[in-house]
Amino acid sequence: MHTLPKGSKKLLNAWAFYDWANSVYSLVISSAIFPIFYGALTITEENGITNDTVSFLGIDFNNDTLISYVTGLAFLVVSILSPFLSGIADYVGNKKNFMKFFCYMGAISCIGLFWFNLEQLWFGLLCYFLALIGFWGSLVFYNSYLPDIAFPEQQDKISAKGYSLGYFGSVILLILCLMMILMYDTFGFESKDFPTRLSFILTGVWWIVFSQYTYYYLPKGNKTNQKVTKDVLFNGFRELKKIWFRIKENLQLRRYLYAFFLYSMAVQTIMLIATYFGIEELEWGEQDSTTGLIISILLIQLVAILGAFLTSRASGKFGNIQTLIVINLLWIGICVYAYFITTPFQFYIAASLVGLVMGGIQSLSRSTYSKLLPNDAIDTASYFSFYDVSEKIGIVIGMFSYGFIAQITGSIRYSILFLILFFVLGVFLLLRVPKTKF
């Protein structure tokens, strides 16, 4: 075990490097290559008629509906498990083992997507389901390390560095995968299918290999190891209840968490529906929509690096809460702009603006929450489980709101306008957070 002192540059860099390792999942699997692969696999055309119906467990589903159900179920499982597991991890003092378990489960599941096909659809969907749980489950423990390894004055900068490393690393792998897919004959492949599937293997291997640097230096946990007994099972629930009461008694933390819940709901929903908006609402003309959407995803990732660092600088000068308020106001402006866009070029501008504020709001939200935790907080994983659960439940509510508005109006554009309400409420609650030292 390589014990490094809190605040050590090597320890901070090792922690931040996990973003480099795991962010390939969110880009390759969640945003870019897998959605396109899934669409190509599940949409067929016969005699000029498009069929997007998929049979699963004897029931016919629309292909988008099926993957949405699997995604929603996975987020629900994460929401239920994370506070329970966080309490156990804090009790027995082995956060790193939990983080490793979810990391390896997610990475191996990504590799399993190589064998995704309609004949064994249950296996492919199971791999997708477990990969999502592995990614988000490991983040619960990863985020909870922040107050353990960094002092308050270091947390904004190292949180931003983590996100930036993640954006940069994931773009490198995505470009490599896209080169193999688009120029498959140059690489000696007979079609796009094999290099597309190979991308899933590369994602899992990347995740496992680069996470080893993080595990080499991260401490095992923040408590003396205790024996696992029957009481540990119930200890997870006791910890959850205890942290909830602590949050209720902490006015700053409570109001910030409410604000985060609302604006994060809108942010995450926008990120999830951006691709659908690009497909359904834009006039692509002769330009290939798939290529255009991938360009947009790359723009978001690259600009987000700049956004994370600019936000870190702004928070140091103006304060975290004030900076978050400004970013939320910028999100409101982007939503209004998105309502009017019709061309790919306008969509690229919107993607650049989204990247700028996305990188900033994610990194600063994480570090602000970490700073608001009580100074004597030992069970940080339990505190961060509330942070993560707020985000996941927000995704469920945000997606439901988006779907409901889109259904009754017939246009995603009105859903975008509706999301402004969450940003407005977020700003209102941020203004009510008692003044802080940062």
* pLDDT value at residue 336: 92
- The DSSP symbol for 182 reads H
The per-residue pLDDT for range 315-368, each reduced to its tens digit, is: 888 888 899 999 999 999 999 998 898 888 888 888 888 888 887 887 788 788
The per-residue pLDDT for range 244-261, each reduced to its tens digit, is: 888 888 888 888 988 998
In a domain, 437, yes or no: no
Q: By the 8 A CB rule, do 16 and 168 touch?
A: no
What burial letters (b/e) apply to 376-409, b meaning 16+ CB within 10 Å?
ebebbbbbbbbbbbbbbbbbbebbebbeebbeee
pTM for this predicted structure: 0.74
* pLDDT value at residue 10: 85
| Tokens, residue 47 | 């005699």
In a domain, 1, yes or no: no
Q: How many CA atoms lie within 13 A of 131 on its CB side?
A: 32
CA-based angle 150:434:438, to the nearest 5? 35
**Residue in this structure with the two tokens 């499982």, named with its chain if needed:** 77
In a domain, 72, yes or no: yes
* pLDDT value at residue 208: 95
**Residue in this structure with the two tokens 């993560």, named with its chain if needed:** 388
In a domain, 357, yes or no: yes
Residue partners of 212: CB distance under 8 A and separation at least 6 = none
The number of distinct structural domains making up the chain is 1
Give pairs for 184-193: CB < 8 Å, separation 24+: none
List the CATH number of the domain containing 369. 1.20.1250.20
- In this model, does residue 29 exceed pLDDT 90? no
Q: Which of helix, strand or coil describes residue 274?
A: helix
Residue partners of 236: CB distance under 8 A and separation at least 6 = 83, 84, 85, 86, 87, 88, 91
In a domain, 319, yes or no: yes
Give the residue, 175 or 330, on which the prediction is more confident: 330
* pLDDT value at residue 71: 78
AA letter at 379: D
Print the domain residue range for 163. Answer: 9-222+231-431
* pLDDT value at residue 222: 57
In a domain, 101, yes or no: yes
| Distance in angstroms (rounded) separating the CA atoms of residues 144 and 132 | 19
Residue partners of 394: CB distance under 8 A and separation at least 6 = 261, 262, 264, 265, 268
In a domain, 381, yes or no: yes
In a domain, 2, yes or no: no
Q: How many residues does the chain have?
A: 438
- Residue 5 burial by Cβ neighbours in a 10 Å radius (0-12, 13-18, 19+): exposed
Give the model's confidence band at 438: pLDDT under 50 very low, under 70 low, under 90 confident, else very high. Answer: very low
The per-residue pLDDT for range 114-166, each reduced to its tens digit, is: 999 888 888 989 999 999 999 988 887 887 788 777 787 777 778 778 877 88
